[in-house]
Chain A
Amino acid sequence: MSALGSAPRPALETAAMVRAGELSAVEVLEHHLATIEAHEDDVRAFTLVTPDEARTQARAVDAAVAKGEDPGPLAGVPIALKDNLCTRGLPTTCSSRILDGWRPPYDATVVTRLAAAGAVSVGKTNMDEFAMGSSTETSAIGPTRNPHDLTRVPGGSSGGSAAAVAAGFAPLALGSDTGGSIRQPAALCGVVGLKPTYGTVSRYGLVAFASSLDQIGPFAGTVADAALLFDVIGGHDPLDSTSLNRPTPRVLSVLDEGVDGMTIGVLAEYLDGVDPDVAARVHQAAEALAAAGARIEEISVPEVALGLSAYYLIAPGEASSNLARYDGVRYGLRVDAEDTAGMNTATRSAGFGAEVKRRIMLGTYVLSAGYMDAYYNQALKVRTKIIEGFDRAYAQCDLLLGPTTPTTAFALGAKTEDPLTMYLSDVCTIPTNLAGHPAISVPFGTGDDGLPIGVQLLGPALAEGDLLRGAAVVEAAAPPMAPPALTASLRGGSQENREGVS
């Protein structure tokens, strides 16, 4: 039924069959590699595809099964990794020229956990440079295209991961979400994207953008697959001081418990100014939740309106410091100059793209003497107000509901000239990051343009269980959505840009 040859099999089913010896991991992998081969030139989801390494992993999974061992809950499931996750010996570029040629000498904790669970990594996915962007257009190798319409953006910054799942390149992918970078592309590409509670998934080996906001999370075709992946990657890690040392919610086992008796608030501020077709889908999802036994209330959290401004002071502030280390001394790009300061400047000026420079300068400015109190410290206080606002809401209800994005996927190039309009596409996702809370985007039909719409469920800290139960109900009631056609291929494009990052 799909343009990709055969219906994608959910990860949960693949893993069960591989563990039972009914399906070989190599067979599963080859199917997905063939899909990548067929459509990657159109979608451009990857910075790097690693078929050889993947085949080695898949053969190891099959060998384990043959020996009667259990390769783990993700046995033989292909997965795509956002290119800001360190992979030992494999290029990790953050889609930036400045990390050209860098191969990390270590694996991120999530990468280690995936391997231990039997997953098979097929490659590294394209992203906005250093995760700074909402369309994957700031990538040094050029944009990823939305598999549902190749003239549109896939969203960002984890656009490559979202597109890879939507295009059937892998049933699962990992992304990172600092201000919506998992949920927004998931919504625009018609897949499930979960931003977990801050501290539930280790950041060790995630190249930092804004450390107090960054969180790794799953992309999947189904809510159950997202739950499966979250259960594998979550849990305390002593290598990350901000990793929570308390039981992480296990979500797969509670998925079908429904929402009967829950109170779910429709967040009024998130419906302000969104496209009418998007708002209509949110109300339709609310009806589905009500039909499943949830009490629906309208809730107002006025503080979230301040989120965007606070975020664009806090995140660049942290980023300006996190990205100082790209100085041409120890790794990555170096552009030579007479003296070290000149070399630093030449390297950074050549290595970073415009959006990264913009945010580094914004962050440097808001942290600098004389402006720190008016901007950065003031934004940290707003963060407190936003948390208080959410606390008030969660005293009344278990979950909140709203759109993930104000619109469906916009055209490539539509917002690249004016940064502020681009930033506004994250208005519904940012407050969650400031609060450290979890939220999930679930595909829920299409808009007037036929493109995917995502609805977002938000919960308080560590409420992933409730969140996934709600998401399962929404998913079950979702209007049908055609699979990506991948027909409107834009040949030619900016082919030469693809050589930019090796």
Chain B
Amino acid sequence: MSTEWTMVIGLEVHCELKTATKLFCGCPNAFGDEPNTNVCPNCLGLPGSLPVLNQRAVELAMAIGTALHCDIRPSTFHRKNYFYPDQAKDYQISQYDEPLNVDGYLDLPDGFRVGIERAHMEEDTGKTTHAGSSGRIHGADYSLVDYNRSGVPLVEIVSAPDIRTSDQARAYVTELRAVLVASGASDGKMEEGSMRVDANVSVRRGADAPFGTRCEIKNLNSVRSLGRAIEYEAQRQITLIESGESVVQQTRHWDESAGRTSALRSKEDAYDYRYFLEPDLVPLVPDAEWIQAVSDTLGMMPAERRARLAQLLTEAGGPSEAQVDQITTVVDLGLDDLVVEAVAAGVGTALALARTANEAATDAEAARVLDPKAYAELLTLEAQGSLSATQAKAVLADLLAAGGGDPAAIARDKGFEAMSEDSLAATVAEAVQTNPDEWSRFCEGDDKLAGFFTGLVMKATKGQANGKAVAAELRRLRG
């Protein structure tokens, strides 16, 4: 991409709220159930049915607004009218000109601030499957509709067009996802569709030129495809302009396997949605007391959580570059409480952070519900040298599978009795006696040979020996 071109990017993120029931009826909000089992007169659009707003959904939407520093305002619901078979009533109930949350912002980990124009509530559609060779809508012989998802609560978060690079776009979605998870509003699972991203992309020459004509890209199913699609789309627009053509305002579809976008429809086809106030619902007017109560229940946000871990490391000399990455990982995965509780129980911050980012993170879902006390005990055993790193990993796997347990007992069951000092000393002594040349050089100051002897001891003990204890015994023998 030629250097004079810059991108202008705005993102629209749809996030499914983690409620027990749907937005306007008491059907379960669940993913993956048998088709058309979680349905009632309301979410099937049966004649005579009426919507009733889910209070929990409103509070989660307010929590998102609070986390994104929005003004939470009196709001109303409108009907967005269009015919489509996945839309049970052939209109969608959505907040239109009076959304619940407006004018907020999200700070990215590097300090860059992205404006949030609005975060409003709306209902999801049913799910359409296309029957035919392609599996896509084009070329399908017919389609099948499942209304289980119909009426699932969504919040649509619309950013200001403040984002300038695809990296920033990815960082925004990653950080927003972490905020949604931390606020308890969403599970943030892009792969299950509980978080969906549309990107508005335009290009211009230089950083101060007026915005160019934008295109909206749909079907971005991962942070990776978001980055790829933005890069592709920006380059497509630049090529068009540089060849003397102009960009047409369009909605475009991202094809992940082909790595390209293609036109879905242009602005001239803009649909007349005939928005009007939903007469079956009444205005939503949160008062200051309610807004405060929601804010009070809101946990720490990712930025605050990262700062908390960095602070713990500052006391121990400050985070290294690798540790900054580890901090981001554990906070994004919602595992930072494990680190903090382990440190509070006396475990070193560096060990707790590294084990959490590298080991617990491999099964983050299980780690999020792991008993923190058991986890701290495990790290303590490792720090004391009672368990080797390899043994500790094996015990952790069992803890994660069970959600907790007694690490010492698990270690015993696995036969991970820490080697007695005598038996360790005997093994080290044997390694020294069978390798007199290396031992002489070690005694003369070649410290690299400590690794050689440790390796021999580990081999002899099948990894059961504690590395630190071996090093201490070697130093003792050298005198």
Contacts and interface: CB of A to CB of B under 8 A. Distances in A.
A285 interface: no
B41 A203 contact: no
B282 A86 contact: no
Contacts of A207: 47-48
Interface stretch (B49-57, B224-232, B311-319): B49-57
Given A241-B52, A330-B88, A368-B272, A105 B47 contact: no
Contacts of A241: 50-53, 280-282
A350 interface: no
Interface in A155-212: 203-208, 210-212
B276 interface: yes
A290 B53 CA distance: 48
Interface stretch (B78-86, B174-182, B249-257, B327-335): B78-86
Interface residues of B, number: 28
Given A242-B280, A330-B44, A324 B90 contact: yes
A15 B41 CA distance: 33
B279 interface: yes
13 contacts: A84-B48, A104-B46, A106-B41, A241-B282, A242-B280, A317-B276, A321-B91, A327-B83, A327-B85, A330-B88, A340-B85, A368-B274, A369-B274
B40 to A, nearest CB: 8
A376 interface: yes
Given A239-B52, A327-B90, A341 B83 contact: yes
B interface secondary structure, majority = loop
Residue among B46, B88, B90, B279 having the largest count of chain A Cβ atoms under 10 Å: B279
Contacts of B51: 241
Contact of B282 (A203, A242, A376): A242
A382 B45 CA distance: 31
Given A212-B279, A317-B276, A368-B274, A324 B81 contact: yes
Interface string B225-267: 0000000000000000000000000000000000000000000
A364 B274 contact: yes
B196 interface: no
A369 B272 contact: yes
A205 B91 contact: no
A329 B146 CA distance: 11
A86 B274 contact: no
A242 B51 CA distance: 10
Interface in A321-371: 321, 324-325, 327, 329-331, 340-341, 344, 364, 367-369
Contact of B47 (A317, A321, A325, A344): A325
Contacts of A368: 272, 274
A461 interface: no
Contacts of A372: 274, 276
A242 B48 CA distance: 14
B145 interface: yes
B48 A104 contact: yes
Given A99-B47, A321-B81, A329-B85, A238 B52 contact: yes
Contacts of A367: 81, 274, 276
A466 interface: no
A105 B41 contact: yes
A128 interface: no
B48 A206 contact: yes
A108 interface: yes
A108 B48 contact: yes
A423 to B, nearest CB: 21
B390 interface: no
B461 interface: no
A57 interface: no
A86 B47 contact: yes
Interface string A59-94: 000000000000000000000000011100000101
A340 B89 CA distance: 15
